């Protein structure tokens, strides 16, 4: 039996039934409902969950799948229902008697329904060690990683093999190296299910520098307009290596907390998923719909951009969710903090949407329990202090004419230098870099250079030079990567770096990779990794067939997944 502890209901375990089917030679069944040797077969009670393990037919070894049914009707594990996840967990416990050694492992394809090509692997061992594996498929570079072992004991390995390419034949070769012992090798071949998102198995990659200089990790492409309920993970060759599924809402980002990844799965629900793919917790926000972004604080709270459904206005509050207690509360309401400014705005568009602020990114800092938020509608960056206490706006960065004559005008920082302000910026992130004086830090952003204030049709102030009202991806225009130096002591901000990038009026993001830079121009359907000298190393295009307006991606972020999917280097 496995050594790891699981939090689950005793009632659920005694009610769940595991049935194995497929190859009779391995169809070993361990019923969860006790019965006498001569008793009739167990018949599940009404509403009872039943897990069935079957042989995956497109493999040359005993690769299993797990299906869950309630009253005979299939239940999708990817629906994030915890009772379903727990029944899968119980089924894997029963199957683990089959993982006898590194050369005879238990293999299960996507048991928890969260990663369509992830392979759960478990086997008994005689000592601690490392599992290195390589995925080979036609027309792609080999994908080699060291798998993270999620079983803390020395007598068993348990992990998830990431990298199987959807829809094609893959050969997976594993090498187990016990500490102080001789390495053993195992190999199996499988034809993986097709991508659940469809297409985009391989991105068009253009290498302009040295591809070996690309940083380690996987590119997470989220918010594809035609596939909002999938997050696609690509390697440095542009090959799809993993695929998250959701309940109709994109992954705004991934945040790592206590051995799990925190992500959005529906517009009012977050989930925590561990490295095996198991959903360990879900959180529903009653009365709110999430949008655009969230961040996790040092003490396990999630600050979330949200719309309060009972209000007429949208995208103008911040909600805080406690990951330990599951409780949530509204902590910032900009209709109160900026009431004077809001009084001069009006709903717009065919739906008369009161989208007067349109917050699109949030970044939390322990410095005064503060957040930096980005407002697309006002092309402004705002800092709010004491978020979980008595929140107040500390400052605003933006075009002065937009705020002229309002109570907020006095909150504007002074610009030092001759440069135009941003237009419709996204993904504003604070960096407390070494070498800066106290009270100084950098802000990086994707400056869309898009300018339109639909909530103020009577606005007659100037637009920042170089901005455009063009909504879309115009190759004759340019957006920018921007980096500001903020000096709170002096009350100033300065442009210290800028880089022209493909134009995208909305969405998009930048990510500092510790020197190198990742830039996603969403509506242009392209992202690129730049080196520290801001030269393009490689560019990746993700355009889909059909009209261009159906193809943007909201964000592309790169993650290493060390101590999660892969052993930390």
What percent of the chain shows pLDDT beyond 70?
90
Task: Tell me what the pLDDT averaged over the chain comes to.
Answer: 90
The yes-or-no verdict on residue 30 having pLDDT over 80 is: no
d(CA 168, CA 83): 33
Q: Identify the residue whose tokens are 């799948």.
A: 65
What's the pLDDT at 27? 29
Asked if residues 555 and 252 have their Cβ atoms less than 8 Å apart, the reply is: yes
Reduced to 3 states (helix: H, G, I; strand: E, B; else coil), residue 83 is helix
Q: What is the pLDDT of residues 362-372, one digit of tens each?
A: 999 999 999 99
**Mean pLDDT confidence for 404-413:** 98
The yes-or-no verdict on residue 226 having pLDDT over 80 is: no
Quick one: how far is CA 45 from the chain centroid? 38
Q: Which residues contact 429 (CB under 8 A, 6 or more apart)?
A: 361, 363, 372, 443, 444, 445, 511, 512
Tell me the CB-side half-sphere exposure of residue 366, using CA atoms within 13 A: 5
The yes-or-no verdict on residue 25 having pLDDT over 60 is: no
Residues 403, 404, 406, 408: is their CA dihedral positive or negative? positive
Q: pTM score, two decimals?
A: 0.92
- Topology adopted by domain 10-191: Immunoglobulin-like (2.60.40)
Q: What is the pLDDT of residues 49-87, one digit of tens each?
A: 999 999 999 999 999 999 999 888 988 776 788 999 999
The yes-or-no verdict on residue 42 having pLDDT over 50 is: no
What's the pLDDT at 19? 54
Long-range contacts, stretch 272-276, CB < 8 angstroms, 24+ apart? 272/323, 273/114, 274/150, 275/148, 275/150, 275/159, 275/160, 275/563, 275/564, 275/565, 276/112, 276/120, 276/150, 276/158, 276/159, 276/160
Q: What is the pLDDT of residues 164-184, one digit of tens each?
A: 999 999 999 999 999 988 999
């Amino acid at each position: 039996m496995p050594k790891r502890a699981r939090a689950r209901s005793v009632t659920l375990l005694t009610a769940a039934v595991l049935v194995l089917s497929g190859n009779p030679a391995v169809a070993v069944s361990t019923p969860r409902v006790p019965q006498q040797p001569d008793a009739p077969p167990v018949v599940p009670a009404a509403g009872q969950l039943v897990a069935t393990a079957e042989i995956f037919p497109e493999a040359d070894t005993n690769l299993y799948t797990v299906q869950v049914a309630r009253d005979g009707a299939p239940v999708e594990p990817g629906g994030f229902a915890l009772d379903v996840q727990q029944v899968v967990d119980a089924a894997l416990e029963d199957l683990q008697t089959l993982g006898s050694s590194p050369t005879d492992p238990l293999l299960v394809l996507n048991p928890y329904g969260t990663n369509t090509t992830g392979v759960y692997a478990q086997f008994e061992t005689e000592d601690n060690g490392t599992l290195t594996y390589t995925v080979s498929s036609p027309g792609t570079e080999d994908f080699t990683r060291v798998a993270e072992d999620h079983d803390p004991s020395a007598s068993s390995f348990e992990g998830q093999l990431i990298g199987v390419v959807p829809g094609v034949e893959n050969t997976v070769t594993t090498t187990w190296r016990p500490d102080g012992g001789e390495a053993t090798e195992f190999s199996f071949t499988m034809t993986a299910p097709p991508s659940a998102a469809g297409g985009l198995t391989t991105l068009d990659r253009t290498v302009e520098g040295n591809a070996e200089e690309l940083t380690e990790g996987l590119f997470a492409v989220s918010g594809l307009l035609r596939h909002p309920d999938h997050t696609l993970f690509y390697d440095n060759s542009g090959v799809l290596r993993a695929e998250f599924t959701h309940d109709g809402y994109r992954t705004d980002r991934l945040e790592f907390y206590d051995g799990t990844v925190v992500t959005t799965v529906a517009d009012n629900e977050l989930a925590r998923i561990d490295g095996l793919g198991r959903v360990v917790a879900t959180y529903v926000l009653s009365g709110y719909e999430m949008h655009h972004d969230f961040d996790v604080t040092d003490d396990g709270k999630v600050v979330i951009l949200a719309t309060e459904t009972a209000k007429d206005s949208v995208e103008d509050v911040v909600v805080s969710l406690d990951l330990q207690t599951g409780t949530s509360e509204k902590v910032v309401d900009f209709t109160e903090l900026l009431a004077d400014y809001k009084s001069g705005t009006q709903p717009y568009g065919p739906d008369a949407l009161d989208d007067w602020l349109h917050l699109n990114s949030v970044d939390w800092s322990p410095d005064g329990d503060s957040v930096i938020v980005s407002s697309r509608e006002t092309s402004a960056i705002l800092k709010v202090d004491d978020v979980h206490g008595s929140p107040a706006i500390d400052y605003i960065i933006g075009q002065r004419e937009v705020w002229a004559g309002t109570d907020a005008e006095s909150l504007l920082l002074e610009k030092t230098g001759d440069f135009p302000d941003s237009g419709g910026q996204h993904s504003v992130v604070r960096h407390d870099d070494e070498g800066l004086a106290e009270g100084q830090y950098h802000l990086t952003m994707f400056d869309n250079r898009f300018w339109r204030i639909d909530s103020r049709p009577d606005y007659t102030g100037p637009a920042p030079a170089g901005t455009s009202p063009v909504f879309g991806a115009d190759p004759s225009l340019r957006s920018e990567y921007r980096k500001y130096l903020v000096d709170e002591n002096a009350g100033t901000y300065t442009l210290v770096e800028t880089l022209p990038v493909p134009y995208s009026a909305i969405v998009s993001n930048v990510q500092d990779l510790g020197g190198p830079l990742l830039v996603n121009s969403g509506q242009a359907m392209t992202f690129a990794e730049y080196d520290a000298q801001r030269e393009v190393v490689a560019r990746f295009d993700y355009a889909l067939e059909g009209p261009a307006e159906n193809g943007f991606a909201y964000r592309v972020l790169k993650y290493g997944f060390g101590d999660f999917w892969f052993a930390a280097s």
